[in-house]
Structure 1
Amino acid sequence: MTRPVLNIALIGSGFMGRAHALAFAAADRTFDLPLSPRVTVLADRDLSTATAAAASLGIPNASGDWREAIADASIDMVAVATPNLLHAPIAIAALEAGKAVYCEKPLATTIAESEAMTAAAAASGRPTAVGFTYLYNPMIALARELVADGEIGEVTAFRGIHAEDFMASADAPFNWRCEPEQAGGALADIGSHIIAMAQHLVGDIASVSGRLHTAYPTRRDAEGNDRAVTVDDQMDAVVAFANGATGTLAASWIASGRKMGLAFEISGTKGSIGFTQEQFNELKLFRSGPGRTNGFTTICAGPEHGDYGAFCPASGHQIGYNDLKTIEVKAAVEAAAGLSSAAKSFADALAVEKVADAIRRSHREGGWTKP
């Protein structure tokens, strides 16, 4: 039986735009989706760029104007994979045009824009999804299940970090990540992932006490000019969850040696869970009990763990980043079809942005701050 088609306009053809295009194609072949996703047009900053990217990705149409793509009556969903500064205007225009929207994180560059996007989604009644890719890992689904089922008892603490080293050198050039208007800084760029992870696994964060640190006050741009850096290289925060648990969060892009150090440990009254994205096909589980050999057990991802089995029939063979993106697309398509979905909505992403904003305010004002 032929499935209905979900026609998609993909806005942006950089790293994340390409990841979206590959994931839409893979999801249609990997899962039994309620709708068949088809990227029918790719829009970018100019027609030449869009045409070349569309040709390389097998997308039939190209546009140099995202407004033109949104105005196309045949489009059902708009996938936003642009620089952060464009998330709000594109998403709001798409929602007002009656399209479902699948947007990369962070939701927007300011709280006001994030709130406007969430309000537009509510007013339109159209489904939304946000690209918190790492939440779609089958091992993270298992961790959430273990917590919810009380396998580690009552959660007492969450210690989480997202650490990378792509800005660790003083010679790393000034780029868009250093620009505040692009929601720049480690907190905005990668901190949103560990905040989302904490709230996904433990629950709402009720208050924060945070500090931001700029290790390199100037960086040299592509033209050789020294530019002032006014965003953070590292964020550290103490958090209190609404359920009474405590925790720490950190985000750093100057963590020498770390390539994808998104990691956490959840402590409970009966055990603990440990994870790192650098070995994201494994989960560490400790259950309290007597015995001199008692310790963490390594659980290897396998076909019994949610969507892993759609990619591989054997445990320990591992899935990769693009597979996580494919699982994310599955959730976005299910949301677009009006079905119950694992997709994180604009409202969920706004909750993440509110915590990030509270950390910034705590740094400026001192003391504890509520999101």
Structure 2
Amino acid sequence: MTEERLGVGMVGYAFMGRVHSQAWRSVAAFFDLPVKPSMTAVCGRSAADVKLAADRFGWASVETDWRRLIERDDVQIIDICTPGDSHAEIAIAALEAGKHVLCEKPLANTVAEASAMASAAAASTAKSMVAFNYRRVPAVALARKLVAEGRLGTIRHVRAQYLQDWIVDPEFPLVWRLRKELAGSGALGDIGAHIIDTAQFISGQLLTGVSGLTETFIKDRPGGEVTVDDAALFFGRMDGGAVASFEATRFATGRKNSLRIELNGSDGSLSFDFEAMNELWVSEGDAGFTRILVTEPEHPYVGAWWPPGHGLGYEHTFTHEIRDFLEAIGTGAEPSPSFADGLRVQRVLEAVEASAADGCYKEIP
């Protein structure tokens, strides 16, 4: 029997393009899939640079216009790894052409763009998913399982932080992530979106309202004015009765990629830090916390990889993400998180920005 293969066309080849390429290369080698991917083409504006990327990362051909990529008959999946200002245009065109779409987070730069993308996804027969990869950390997936099974009881507190330090140096240049017209927002959208999605995913609850503040510590850098936030803090209520607090900053000196989540429930608590990504700390009843090394074959995703105790890394979360996307395409299931989920996160981001601007609590539509 001939196995079904789907051609993948990826737009963008920088940081996210590199890690997505690694995932597309490895996914079929470790997971049994209903459909398998072919790395058909990568797209970028510079013909010379995109050719180098294709040769290094394993793509069969190149394009310099994403419209041409979508038109190709040998491409059935479009993977969007570009800055947020181009997500909506590319995704909507791809969905209207009947292509499956995987789009990096945050889904868009504005609620209006995200809403248009969600509407296009709802109207299309093709599958679409937003790439919140931290859902696919085995310890995070296990945390979700424990909450869904009721092991923590009623969730009362959700605490989430995402702490980085890569722009602490005032001489760090004005890259695209520091320009609002390209990135939409700063730490809030770049890493705050991740903790919003991860907190809602693990808890099974959605934010219904927020109060927040933002700050830009270094307003001018080599290359021009910084037009996004450097840090965002906010608290809110969730639809299951929990209260929640969030902190996203790229000025936490010494913290490299510390995505932290803690949930406190009536019957127990759990705690996770991505800088120790193979560990989940769980407390049940009135006992202290116990460390679970999430490397056993029965843990989510882990059985496809290495023997117990051989930890996984950042790149594996993207392989898991693409595995789940291909599984949904092959079986006809709805991928998660959907574009509608991405829109929901975008509404939270907009509410935080609005609250920071006028100092008022904002309900989330």
User: TM-score by structure 2 length?
Assistant: 0.96
The residue number in structure 1 matching 2:9 is 9
What letter corresponds to residue 212 of structure 1 in structure 2?
Answer: T
The residue number in structure 2 matching 1:281 is 278
The residue number in structure 2 matching 1:134 is 134
1:219 aligns with 2:221: yes
Extract unaligned runs of 5+ from structure 2: none
The residue number in structure 1 matching 2:360 is 367
Task: Give me the identity figure in percent.
Answer: 39
CA distance, structure 2, for counterparts of residue 341 and residue 168 of structure 1: 41
Alignment RMSD (CA, Å): 1.3
What letter corresponds to residue 258 of structure 1 in structure 2?
Answer: R
The residue number in structure 2 matching 1:224 is none
CA contact (8 A) 2:40 2:74 kept: no
Paired residue secondary structure (2:177): helix
1:184 aligns with 2:185: yes
What letter corresponds to residue 128 of structure 2 in structure 1?
Answer: T
The residue number in structure 1 matching 2:268 is 271
> Which among 202, 207, 212 is matched to residue 210 of structure 1?
212
Per mean C-alpha deviation after superposition, the further-off stretch among 211-220 and 348-357 is: 211-220
- C-alpha distance after superposition, 1:189-229 (max 9, x if no partner): 111000111111121100000111111122222xxxxx222
The residue number in structure 2 matching 1:167 is 167
Q: Kindly tell me the number of residue pairs found equivalent between the two proteins.
A: 361
Deviation of 1:84 (Å) = 1.6
Deviation of 1:365 (Å) = 2.0
Indicate how the Cα distance of structure 1 residues 59 and 230 shifts in structure 2: closer, same or farther if over 3 A, else same. closer
CA distance, structure 2, for counterparts of residue 365 and residue 134 of structure 1: 31
Extract unaligned runs of 5+ from structure 1: 222-226
CA distance, structure 2, for counterparts of residue 169 and residue 27 of structure 1: 37
- C-alpha distance after superposition, 1:163-200 (max 9, x if no partner): 10001222222221111112131101111000111111
1:333 aligns with 2:326: yes
CA distance, structure 2, for counterparts of residue 184 and residue 367 of structure 1: 19
CA contact (8 A) 1:46 1:65 kept: no
The residue number in structure 1 matching 2:202 is 201
Deviation of 1:149 (Å) = 1.2
CA distance, structure 1, for counterparts of residue 89 and residue 136 of structure 2: 27
CA distance, structure 2, for counterparts of residue 174 and residue 15 of structure 1: 17
Deviation of 1:313 (Å) = 2.5
CA contact (8 A) 1:48 1:64 kept: no
- C-alpha distance after superposition, 1:342-361 (max 9, x if no partner): 63111111111111111001
CA contact (8 A) 2:127 2:335 kept: no
Deviation of 1:125 (Å) = 2.6
CA contact (8 A) 1:46 1:63 kept: no
CA distance, structure 1, for counterparts of residue 341 and residue 217 of structure 2: 31
CA contact (8 A) 1:169 1:254 kept: no
CA distance, structure 1, for counterparts of residue 276 and residue 39 of structure 2: 32
The residue number in structure 1 matching 2:350 is 357
CA distance, structure 2, for counterparts of residue 306 and residue 236 of structure 1: 31
User: TM-score by structure 1 length?
Assistant: 0.94
Deviation of 1:341 (Å) = 5.9
